[in-house]
Amino acid sequence: MFATLPEPQPDAIIALMAAFAADPRDGKVDLGVGVYKDDHGNTPVMRAVRVAEQRLHDKQTTKTYTKLAGDPAFVAAMQKLALGETPDRLAGAAAPGGTGALRVLFELIARAAPGARFHISDPSWPNHAAMLKAMDKAPGAYPYFDAETRGVRFEEMLAYVNGLGTDDVVILHGCCHNPTGANLTLDQWQQLTDSAVEKGWLPLIDLAYQGLGDGLEEDVQGVRHMAARLPRLMIAQSCSKNFGLYRDRAGCATVQCADADEQAKVQATLASVNRLLYSFSPDHGAALVEIILNDPELRADWEAELTEMRGRINGLREGLAEALRQETNSDRFDFIRQHRGMFSRLGATKEQVEQVREEAGIYMVTDSRMNIAGLTQDKLRDFARAAAAAGV
Ligand code: PLP
Ligand code: TYF
């Protein structure tokens, strides 16, 4: 039965985690997998999460099943977090992480419009294409990252989406683009919205880093603009990074529908898709998020800690750009200051990435994506020196 089992495609980021763990050197630096780290290199359990866990422990009387679409209070709180004021024509379901939310929304589209074509940014988070290919829905790729300016090739992106129509789904990163760190301006979101209104393509917004760019509200200005103007859109939210709940697998799939009839149908389908994929979504992380978002004191503390995390990342961006200025005698890395979120793509070749890994023990993904949060102030100079020595 298994003799002809094909080798699965390895995930380069997960493989890098293993290579880092196996490296015996003291002082090695992990800029690979996208998890937040503090000044000591730890990925902490957030303070509000600890308190919410204690409360859940004290008040939870049963672990019987929730609903197929998860706890409605969690879904409503997540939708409010993304959209602010929410219209009543939203369908939604809890899902196992942002990945689960994406998978459920892909499945929904596969049922609603089997011939629909997906489009992702060039480049994008590798799992987007991998998951879609596994569903026999290899996506198209719209121009996105400009390797010269390290900004967005917006005119080309806009021309691409203007060529799409009502059978097309466009996956957009809501903020903090993974893997490049280059993001759309509000004006660009507005132009994309005009295109979606005119051409009828459907946005699917992957929102995995809300609060880690410029702020909880600031990071979703584009998403909210789109939601206010379009009859329909989809959002896949992850609680992995902004709540630090990675392994608990908390996420939310939302569909803004055109009217109440459509909402009822989509809601029933989301529940059914959940059931067919895994029955009930995990609820532990979702319950913590619901407690935090609906308790003013806990929420304030969560926001304060998220602000500290964001401040640390953006402080490292400043420091890294400055260290690279000094080590390379040029301002060509100043884009690191403008980028937002966990990642920037440095612009090094595969060989240079390997050289930095071998000589300095600093691990970046092969495409030279670096997790800024993996740095510490005392490593900035080492990093800049290693990058300069490799000729980046
Ligand atoms: N989308 C993007 C762009 C991501 O970077 C991630 C990774 O964390 C996810 C979705 C999904 O994350 P998770 O399934 O861990 O919640
Ligand atoms: O891009 C990252 O590093 C995170 C974590 O298959 C991740 O989004 C990486 C690979 C993967 C799942 C999550």
DSSP for 73-101, please give it.
HHHHHHHHHHHSS--TTEEEEEESHHHHH
- Split at pLDDT 50, 70, 90, the class of 11 is confident
Q: Which ligand is nearest to the CA of 104?
A: 1
Choose which residue among 125, 209, 245 to substitute to test ligand 1 binding: the one with the highest number of ligand atoms within 8 A of its C-beta.
125
Question: Cα(270)–Cα(215) distance, rounded to whole angstroms?
Answer: 30
Asked about 125 being catalytic, the answer comes back as yes
Question: Which residues, in sequence order, are bridge partners of residue 275?
Answer: none
Q: Which ligand is nearest to the CA of 248?
A: 1
Are residues 347 and 368 in contact, defined by beta-carbon separation less than 8 angstroms? yes
251 lines ligand 1 (CB under 6 A): yes
pTM of this structure: 0.97
Long-range contacts of 162-165 (CB under 8 A, 24+ apart): 162/195, 162/198, 162/199, 164/119, 164/199, 164/201, 165/199, 165/200, 165/201
Q: Which atom of ligand 1 is nearest to the CA of 241?
A: 8
* Token pair belonging to 53: 């866990």
Q: What is the pLDDT of residues 75-113, one digit of tens each?
A: 999 999 999 999 999 999 999 999 999 999 999 999 999
Q: What is the pLDDT of residues 249-299, one digit of tens each?
A: 999 999 999 999 999 999 999 999 999 999 999 999 999 999 999 999 999
Q: Which atom of ligand 2 is nearest to the CA of 14?
A: 10
Can you give the pLDDT at residue 10?
Answer: 85
Report cis status (omega within 30 of 0) of the bond before 203: no
Mean pLDDT of 204-210: 98
Choose which residue among 127, 237, 242 to substitute to test ligand 1 binding: the one with the highest number of ligand atoms within 8 A of its C-beta.
127
Percent of the residues in the chain that have a pLDDT greater than 90, as a whole number: 97
When the pLDDT of each residue in the chain is averaged and rounded to a whole number, the result is 97
Domains of the chain are: 12-46+299-389 (3.90.1150.10), 65-294 (3.40.640.10)
Report cis status (omega within 30 of 0) of the bond before 179: yes
Asked about 133 being catalytic, the answer comes back as no
Closest CA to 369 of 345, 349, 387, 353: 345
97 lines ligand 1 (CB under 6 A): yes
Asked about 321 being catalytic, the answer comes back as no
Which ipTM was obtained for this model? 0.98
Longest dimension (CA), the chain: 62
Question: Which residues, in sequence order, are bridge partners of residue 203?
Answer: 170
C-alpha to C-alpha distances, 319 to 26, 150, 211, nearest whole angstrom: 23, 18, 21
End-to-end CA distance of the chain: 48
123 lines ligand 1 (CB under 6 A): no
Q: What is the pLDDT of residues 132-161, one digit of tens each?
A: 999 999 999 999 999 999 999 999 999 999
